[in-house]
Amino acid sequence: MEQFRNIGIIGRLGSSQVLDTIRRLKRFLVERHLHVILEDSIAEMLPGHGMQTCTRKLMGEICDLVIVVGGDGSLLGAARAMARHGTPVLGINRGSLGFLTDIRPDELEAKVSEVLEGRYLMESRFLLEGLVRRGDELIGQSDALNDVVLHPGKSTRMIEFELYINGQFVCSQKSDGLIVATPTGSTAYALSAGGPIMHPKLDAIVIVPMYPHTLSSRPIVVDGNSELKVVVSPNLQIYPQVSCDGQNHFTCAPGDTLTIRKKVQKLQLIHPVGHNYYEICRTKLGWGSRLGGHE
What residue spans define the domains of the chain?
6-119+273-285, 127-264
Q: Among 20, 72, 136, 203, which one carries the catalytic annotation?
A: 72
For domain 6-119+273-285, the CATH architecture is 3-Layer(aba) Sandwich (3.40)
Distances (CA, A) of 293 to 78, 138, 288, 289: 38, 56, 9, 6
Q: Say if residue 181 carries a ligand binding annotation.
A: no
Q: What is the pLDDT of residue 294?
A: 61
Q: Say if residue 203 carries a ligand binding annotation.
A: no
Looking at the DSSP bridge assignments, the partners of residue 54 are 39
Q: Say if residue 223 carries a ligand binding annotation.
A: no
Distances (CA, A) of 249 to 17, 131, 161: 28, 11, 19
Which residue intervals of 14-107 are DSSP H helices?
16-31, 40-43, 56-62, 72-82
Assess contact for 77 and 247: CB atoms under 8 A.
yes
CB atoms within 10 A of CB 254: 17
Classify domain 127-264 by CATH number: 2.60.200.30
Q: Say if residue 247 carries a ligand binding annotation.
A: yes
Tens-binned pLDDT, residue by residue, of the chain (295 aa): 568 999 999 999 888 999 999 999 999 999 999 999 999 999 999 998 999 999 999 999 999 999 999 999 999 999 999 999 999 999 999 977 778 998 999 999 999 999 999 999 999 999 999 999 999 999 999 999 999 999 999 888 999 999 999 999 999 999 999 999 999 999 999 999 999 999 999 999 999 999 998 888 999 999 999 999 999 999 999 999 999 999 999 999 999 999 999 999 999 999 999 999 999 999 889 898 888 766 5
Q: Say if residue 191 carries a ligand binding annotation.
A: yes
Q: What is the pLDDT of residue 295?
A: 58
Q: Say if residue 16 carries a ligand binding annotation.
A: no
Q: Is 245 labeled as catalytic in the residue annotation?
A: no
Q: Is the pTM of this model over 0.75?
A: yes
